[in-house]
Amino acid sequence: MAAPASKTVGDLNGKWVLNKALSDSLDPALTLQGVSWFVRKAIGAATVTLHVKQYLGPPAPPSTSADPVPRIDIEQVATAGVKGTTENRCLDYEFREHSDWLFGHVKGRSRFLGVAELKAWVAGEAKTEGWVEDEFAALDWLEGDGEQKGPAGETLIVNHVVNLDAAGGWTAVQVWGFQSVGGERRYTRNIVVAKGEQFVNFKMVYDYIGDDA
């Protein structure tokens, strides 16, 4: 189901199901991230639903600020016996550490960005540091007036993750926003996973299935 016009980067609240037919395969990225064959096959067979809560709240440690920041809490629920994961993000672009069963020990930071700012970041810092290989992360985003719903009129959310495990060593750049996919406006993530000189670009496309009760 296409995303209603009311759903933007300023309001991702609700339930979203990964549309496998419209999305790219996750397997090459999971392989680069060191996920086992057995787990990759289970994830490939599972239906993945995001339960998203977006709100203003106090920033998580290590921040000591008393000012509220935009926050997004996501519970990923999967079928086929796959354990879910949790994404809790403060959009103040401060690194925070997190561990889970699938991706190990990581640190991540998140922020709102406009398309022009994203393109500059991708072509500059992200490419120089080896987090992206090309401009894939910055492609295909809708930019019209209805999309500019970040706190300063931004249209996108950018997440940068660094794996801290000794055997890991990968990074990931996720860009969240809305694209026209199959002729419909849909919530989409452009993702780049990098490890050394290896890069995997892929797109995840979601169907909106309503608000959480």
* Residues whose CB is less than 8 angstroms from the CB of residue 12 and which lie 6 or more positions away in sequence, other chains included: 52, 54, 72, 176, 187
* Residue-averaged pLDDT of the chain: 95
Q: pLDDT at position 82, please?
A: 85
pLDDT, tens digit, 9 for 90 and up, residues 182-211: 999 999 999 999 999 999 999 999 999 998
Burial level of 203, CB count in 10 A (0-12/13-18/19+)? middle
Average pLDDT of the residues in 54-67: 94
Query: Is the pTM for the entire model greater than 0.75?
Result: yes
Average pLDDT of the residues in 20-28: 97
- At 73, which amino acid appears? D
| Topology given in CATH for the domain delimited by 14-210 | Lipocalin (2.40.128)
Q: pLDDT at position 213, please?
A: 57
First vs last C-alpha separation in the chain? 18
Average pLDDT of the residues in 82-94: 92
Q: Are 78 and 48 in contact (CB under 8 A)?
A: yes
pLDDT, tens digit, 9 for 90 and up, residues 123-161: 999 999 999 999 999 999 999 999 999 999 999 999 999
* Confidence band, pLDDT 50/70/90 cuts, at residue 81: confident
- Sorted by where each begins, the domain ranges of the chain are 14-210
Residue 7 has pLDDT above 80, yes or no: yes
Measured CA to CA, the distance from residue 70 to residue 58 in angstroms comes to 9
Q: Which helix or strand (DSSP H or E) is residue 129 part of?
A: none
